[in-house]
Amino acid sequence: MRAITFDIETRSDSFSRGKVDIATQELTVVGVHDTETGEYTAYTQEELPKLWPIFERADMLIGFNSDTFDIPILNRYYPGDLTKIKSLDLLAEVYKALGRRIRLQALGEATLKRGKTGDGLEAQKWWEEGLYDKVKKYCIEDVRLTRDLYDYALANGHIKYKDLREVKELKLDTRNWETGGEGSSLTHTLGL
């Protein structure tokens, strides 16, 4: 099974009721890990035509908050429909098991003893300052953290999170994570 773990970076000045309005977000970078090659790569908006064939051949997309943020934003740039490819949103899995959202930073620190290397607001600032390689590197590190959390959960049936001062295990039902995606790749939107 070919899985693509991914994350996006965006920029926008608009917020609605204290939340980011995804309709106004402009894509800056997409970071990916491809299980077929084992490589981590990043693509700017101008480089998206190189990314689409990779997504087209994926059996599953893996992300963090990807079903409600990353995929809807990417779909504005994609000539097809990324929702036709099986996806696994780690944040949605956490919410399903715990009933609340936990930040990627907190999951990484508790489970893997490492967190993120920055945050989205810093990435926006770096982009505006022309530090494009720094944004790509930051995005790839988020992809690496997401991929490592996915692999940990798959191997152990749980991830960890900090609840006040105590680190707790959060059991996740991973039985179907890598089933049902085969054959869903090639959405035929790019004429491949």
Give the integer Cα–Cα distance in Å for 131 and 62: 26
Domains, the chain: 3-171 (3.30.420.10)
Residue 155's pLDDT band (boundaries 50, 70, 90)?
very high
Question: What is the distance of C-alpha 161 from the center of its chain?
Answer: 19
Amino acid at position 143, single letter: V
The first and second tokens of residue 160, run together, are 């960890």
Instruction: Give me the torsion for CA of 114, 123, 92, 68, rounded to 10°.
Output: -170
- State pLDDT tens for residues 21-52: 778 889 999 999 999 999 999 999 999 999 99
Q: Are 84 and 136 in contact (CB under 8 A)?
A: no
Strands (DSSP E) along the chain, which ranges?
3-11, 15-16, 19-20, 26-34, 40-44, 60-63, 87-89, 158-163, 166-171
- State pLDDT tens for residues 61-117: 999 999 999 999 999 999 999 999 999 999 999 999 999 999 999 999 999 999 888
Nearest Cα neighbor of 54 from 81, 73, 77, 35 is: 35
